[in-house]
Amino acid sequence: MQIITQEYKQFLFDIKSKIQSAQLKAHIKVNEEMLKLYWEIGSMIISKQKESSWGDKILENISKDLKEEFPALQGFSLRNIHYMKKWVLFYSNSQQSVDEIVQQLVAQIFQIPWGHNIHIISKSKDIDEALFYVNKTIENGYSRAELIEQMKKELYKRNGKAITNFKNTLPKIQSDLANEITKDPYSFDFLTLRQSYDEKELENALVSNMTKFLLELGSGFAFVGQQYKIVVDKNDFKIDLLFYHTKLHCFVVVELKTTDFKPEYAGKLNFYITAVDEQVKTKFDNPTIGILICKSKSDTIVEYALRNVNTPIGISEYQLTEILPKEYQSSLQKCDRNLWQAKSLQPAYSWIFYIPYQKKHNTNPIFLKPYPKSICI
């Protein structure tokens, strides 16, 4: 009888890990080679149609003959053949040759699945927008469903669009990176709130949906705490939400406002940023950044408010799509009286009581376990 030792188990685990790693690399390589083949087929069809004046009817013959010749291979349907041609034509709308385009795009479009590529070229207006979503897919590892959702939310139009003073308050490299982590507006369509919601409700709803909120914020954000307490000259102050950005290596103070932007909001955020820099930031961290997310704003007022502020601040709006019908609001208002937030156990935990909206309007409060100090995507 063989004795399975712990050493053998570890040895077997190491072998399995090598095999799994090789399988993943092989899958990526297969995907890349398949996409190169699709590109070549699309290019050949376009070139032959120009030479021989063939119409698209010939694509039916190509699809039929390829499927007969290679019955074990998928991907030669008439629809897919059309997409191969469309794919090449989409990225060939420039002054460069096809070979030059391939060399530039090989590290991008060939690194994401075929289904992602199809959706991107079908929904993008130009090459810049398409490559934006290609790179975001690579950067964030979007599934097809996540990519579709981000394109539906028009991430391309919102990304890096907040009004900021980063150029005047951060070194250029840091400024460019910081600008990329902002959006305007932020989409909070994963929340359902009553019509007369307040800032506390908005904040609690975001914390209760932290995973979705982190996805909306983007890669690199780590959640540190809610109502994060700082003490200045024996006075207590609480920051709505505090994050750490793992790529920028800095803390990010997020303040929420359910009203139009007012100049004094920038002053308060400036105070919080300074306090975090003084009390929380270490010598290894970059300067703290502040993001104010409000219901609406006047761009001119925001620009005036930030003009002489020396700390890095970005101002954005948010959008909601789901508001509770009036007939449910009275039930939720009763629940609000049971809404608690216990005293913070900062900096490690925030304890939260909340009332989720349910069809049966169960008004019993639900007690959540404390959020750990850092929740990161």
CB-count exposure of residue 262 (10 Å: 0-12, 13-18, 19+) = middle
Distance CA 375, CA 243 (A): 9
**CA nearest neighbour of 197 among 353, 328, 366:** 328
Is the pLDDT at 195 greater than 60, yes or no? Answer: yes
Domains in the chain: ranges and CATH: 6-111 (no CATH), 163-376 (3.40.1350.10)
pLDDT-above-70 percentage for the chain: 74
What confidence category does residue 20 fall into, taking pLDDT thresholds of 50, 70 and 90?
A: low
Gap between the Cα atoms of 180 and 290, Å rounded: 14
pLDDT at 179: 92
Let me know: does 45 contact 60? Beta carbons within 8 Å.
no
Alpha carbon of 174 to those of 4, 178, 255, 266, 291: distances in Å? 53, 6, 21, 21, 15
For residue 311, give every residue at least 6 positions away whose Cβ sits within 8 Å of its Cβ, in sequence order, or none.
Answer: 169, 270, 273, 274, 277, 287, 288, 290
The pLDDT of residue 213 is above 70: yes
Per-residue pLDDT tens for 60-80? 988 999 888 888 888 889 999
d(CA 306, CA 262): 11
The answer to whether residues 244 and 257 touch, using CB atoms and an 8 Å cutoff, is no
* Higher pLDDT, residue 2 or 148: 148
pLDDT value, residue 344? 36
For position 8, what pLDDT does the model report?
60
Contact yes or no for 102/135 (Cβ under 8 A):
no
**What pLDDT was estimated at residue 51?**
84
Cβ atoms of residues 127 and 90 within 8 Å: yes
What is the structure's pLDDT at 196?
Answer: 87
Q: Is the pLDDT of residue 13 over 80?
A: no
Please state the rounded mean pLDDT for residues 301-311.
95
Range with lowest mean pLDDT among 146-150, 235-239, 277-281: 146-150
pLDDT given for residue 170 in this prediction: 94
Whether 246 has a pLDDT exceeding 50, the answer reads: yes
Instruction: Note the pLDDT of residue 71.
Output: 87
Looking at this protein, which amino acid is placed at residue 42? G
Q: What does the DSSP assignment read for 89-150?
A: HHHT-SSS-HHHHHHHHTTTGGGS-HHHHHHHHHH-SSHHHHHHHHHHHHHHT--HHHHHHH
| 14 vs 116: which has the higher pLDDT | 116
What does the pLDDT average to over 274-283?
96
More confident residue, 295 or 357: 295
Taking the CA atoms of residue 87, residue 89, residue 92 and residue 94 in that order, the dihedral angle to the nearest 10 degrees is -130
326 — pLDDT class (breaks 50, 70, 90): low
pLDDT higher than threshold 70 for residue 339: no
Binning pLDDT at 50, 70 and 90, where does residue 364 land?
very low
Residue 169 has pLDDT above 90, yes or no: yes
Q: Examine the pLDDT at 32 and tell me if it is beyond 80.
A: yes
Region 150-162 average pLDDT: 92
pLDDT, averaged across the chain: 81
What pLDDT sits at residue 55?
Answer: 83
Q: Confidence class of residue 208 from pLDDT cuts 50, 70 and 90?
A: very high
What is the phi-psi region of residue 179: left when phi exceeds 0, alpha when psi lies from -120 to 50, beta otherwise?
A: alpha
Read off the pLDDT of each residue in 30-57 and give the average, rounded to a whole number: 86
Residue 21 has pLDDT above 70, yes or no: no
